[in-house]
Amino acid sequence: MSDKRKGKLSGPIIRKAMLDSLVKLNPVTMMKNPVMFVVEIGMVLVLLLLLFPGFFGSRSGFGFNLSVFLILLVTMLFANFAEALAEGRGKAQADSLKKTKKDVTANKLVGGHVKSVAASELRKGDIVVVAQGEMIPGDGEIIEGIASVDESAITGESAPVIKEAGGDFSSVTGGTLVVSDRIVVRISSDPGESFIDRMIALVEGAQRQKTPNEIALSTLLTVLTLIFLIVVVTLKPMADYLNIHLEIPVLVSLLVCLIPTTIGGLLSAIGIAGMDRITRFNVLAMSGKAVEAAGDINTMILDKTGTITYGNRMASEFIAVGQEKESDLAAWAAVSSLQDDTPEGRSVIDYAKTKGFGFDRGLADGGGIVPFQAETRMSGIDLKDGRRVRKGAVDAVREWVLSDGGVIPADLEQKASRVASEGGTPLAVAVDNRILGVIYLKDTVKPGMKERFEQLRKMGIKTIMCTGDNPLTAATIAREAGVDDYIAESKPEDKIAVIRREQAQGKLVAMTGDGTNDAPALAQADVGLAMNSGTVSAKEAANMVDLDSDPSKIIEVVAIGKQLLMTRGALTTFSIANDIAKYFAIIPAMFMLAVPEMNALNIMGLGSPLSAVLSALIFNAVIIPLLIPLAMRGVTYKPMSSQRLLSRNLLVYGLGGVIAPFIGIKLIDLIVHLWI
């Protein structure tokens, strides 16, 4: 992954966040966060009491008022710092991305002639020519030619990728470099709408829109704040009626401690940090809604080739026939593959080494290479000593052996059929007129996929594999990979049908794709992850783009989405649980002088009413910066069901949220009481 997206916190980011914390005290800015805006109003009221003693008939001392004002100010700054820190990391990434944007010159085709224009003048539909060593001036699709393209400015990967017209790898991104050859590109975006422009807008936290879940939680916090505001406001006349004098700073302290200030101060930072995590994972999300939806996924649709399997047939077994030995078969299969640069050929040698079979590399020296041809369906080598080695389709090798007067082993057909029936490809190996056996080639499941699917199952996510293979091959791969279901001989409309079927049952569906034929399904899915190497239509239809073009990354995307939801839920639970302990600190302090019986609620044994109020306020302020690392990093993700997750949150963050303030407020009170 590119260093520019690692997003580590640096000194400049922290210093800028501290400055932004002061700027964000602007009431116009604070109004966007109702919980913290109420805290700011309370802070202003206490400030008025400092400037105008006796205001509102208050008889509270200057020292107490000053303490309350400073604590509330620090509370505001800590909350603003959390948001500014998350935004600062995103803006730092955006600045790095802006540096990749260069005002390059484009070779635009106009009336059959090439005209040099600035890249900023290009519009959607323009045709440009890009040669070796030139920068691609804008996002587009190759309509002519093939080239090797360096995409390190976008993906962070140094290895160039092959892009060509007419396939699923025709999409190119502005700011990338053509390493070889020449291509003709049709521009697919107007200025300000390019891939990098959208990515910059995403990582700049200030431009991030709130997600539906975040809006709902903000509404809940606003309602809770309003309820506690009404309760605190009505306390004053009720206390006056009972001849209990409650000071304005004490009422403000009560309100600030009872409203969910902790989660209110961290909510925005949690959302921004969640978007930041997925961006640092080299995934471009078109909206925060897509990230959240990933956390609620019930069903995952995955292509077989390239996602679950490597996509290349690889040697997985040597099957000797007749009286031949497996070791001899392995040795000659390896010799026949020494000059075979295909993935299949390399896999034969690798498999022979893995299984400990020896072979003589020197036999191939000076031999005549027989390349694979569609007509013969065989490849091999003619050795210097006159022996001939062939490897290829069973029927082709059989005919070659028979033409040389050889005898076909009786069990060849049966063993070759067994390989085919299991979804594999049998390759026969022969030396002169003698068939030694069959190489079992199959599309190998990637290591660890079965364990990952098991994790998804624990999370309650159903996995469905789509493949164009026949049902027998599909069933074999599905069994090896451990997916829950599969669709064999699938067509684009089959993917849409299964997505709609799952959605009709109230489920959220995720899928990956890279081709034009995947675009309809990507658009239909709740979370569509397109490959950056794919077509423009696929990337436009999806709501996420993987810059690394790794189809299996959808599994990590779901984990990041769940981590975002878990973090928000955990800190909300902790924040609300905090209020219980703060209630036992503030309420007795307000009334125990006038109503001695209220001292029974002072279960923490706090020193005095003033120290109790200040201790609760200090804890309320200090807990926010202590939770900033957790909000930025996210709660550690562990695959589990929703019920187990709820139980874990209640136990760890619910119970912890009740116990921590009791301990924290008591420790702070021991110091504050001595000071007072």
CA–CA dist 158, 152 (Å, integer): 5
Closest CA to 428 of 442, 444, 445, 441: 441
CA–CA dist 279, 271 (Å, integer): 13
> Is 518 marked within a binding site?
yes
> Is 372 marked within a binding site?
yes
Residue 177, number of CB atoms within 10 A of its CB: 17
DSSP string, 380-400: EEE-TTS-EEEEEEHHHHHHH
CA–CA dist 621, 644 (Å, integer): 31
CB 311 within 8 A of CB 468: no
> Is 377 marked within a binding site?
yes
CB 513 within 8 A of CB 534: yes
> Is 64 marked within a binding site?
no
Known catalytic residues? Answer: 303
Angle at 202 between CA 201 and CA 205, to 5 degrees: 90
> Is 495 marked within a binding site?
no
Rounded alpha-carbon distances, angstroms, from residue 82 to 14, 221, 264, 403: 10, 18, 11, 79
Rounded alpha-carbon distances, angstroms, from residue 332 to 324, 338, 367: 12, 10, 14
> Is 514 marked within a binding site?
yes
Residue 163, number of CB atoms within 10 A of its CB: 26
CA–CA dist 250, 591 (Å, integer): 11
> Is 449 marked within a binding site?
no
Both tokens of 225, joined, read: 């704040």
Angle at 297 between CA 291 and CA 301, to 5 degrees: 105
Identity of residue 310: Y
CA–CA dist 541, 524 (Å, integer): 9
DSSP bridge pairs for 1: none
CA–CA dist 589, 246 (Å, integer): 11
Both tokens of 283, joined, read: 């995934």
> Is 340 marked within a binding site?
yes
Both tokens of 498, joined, read: 């299964």
Helix 248-258 and helix 62-100: axis angle, to 10°? Answer: 40
> Is 374 marked within a binding site?
yes
Angle at 199 between CA 198 and CA 205, to 5 degrees: 105
CA–CA dist 418, 380 (Å, integer): 24
Closest CA to 364 of 336, 345, 333: 336
CA–CA dist 149, 176 (Å, integer): 7
Exposure b/e, 256-271, CB count within 10 A at least 16 = b: bbbbbbbbbbbbbbbb
676 CB burial (10 A radius; 0-12, 13-18, 19+): middle
Q: How many residues does the chain have?
A: 676
> Is 391 marked within a binding site?
yes
CA–CA dist 101, 81 (Å, integer): 30
CA–CA dist 7, 23 (Å, integer): 23
> Is 328 marked within a binding site?
no
User: Which stretches of 126-211 are DSSP H helices?
Assistant: 152-155, 195-203
> Is 597 marked within a binding site?
no
CB 465 within 8 A of CB 486: yes
DSSP bridge pairs for 209: none
CA–CA dist 189, 286 (Å, integer): 16
CB 380 within 8 A of CB 370: yes
CA–CA dist 652, 455 (Å, integer): 22
> Is 144 marked within a binding site?
no
Both tokens of 600, joined, read: 């029974």
Closest CA to 249 of 114, 413, 76, 59: 59
Which residues carry a binding-site annotation for Mg(2+)?
Answer: 514, 518
Which residues carry a binding-site annotation?
Answer: 340, 344, 372-379, 391, 514, 518
Which residues carry a binding-site annotation for ATP?
Answer: 340, 344, 372-379, 391
